[in-house]
Amino acid sequence: YRVVVKLNTSTEALDPVVGGWLTYRSPVRTLLHAGVAVSAIDGIMIIPAGGPGEGAGYRIDNARIYAPQPQADLTLFADSVPDQWSIWDCCAGSTPTVEPD
């Protein structure tokens, strides 16, 4: 695959600044919408634009693909019957109960 993600289309929507450090973030969904199989990503290439980027020098620090926030814990049962358990009524009208073990 070759997918172009321009810096100014990142979450921050900033153009590069000469002599300054900037953070750029692009959601993985940008790649998904471009048809990329994100689980198959095995490399990242960062290339300056031709013309205005010709002869440019740049430094990359902390390039990574990661989940920015951990997923919430999944609790299946916490000492009471959740409202959503009504869909588990196997017998059309049964009354599920909590039984001590």
Q: What is the pLDDT of residues 52-75, one digit of tens each?
A: 667 777 788 888 777 777 777 777
- The ranges assigned to domains in the chain are 1-42, 57-100
Q: What span, in angstroms and rounded, lies between the C-alpha atoms of 92 and 44? A: 54
pTM: 0.47
Q: What span, in angstroms and rounded, lies between the C-alpha atoms of 26 and 12? A: 9
- 65: closest CA among 22, 28, 96, 13? 28
In the predicted model, is pLDDT for residue 2 greater than 70? no
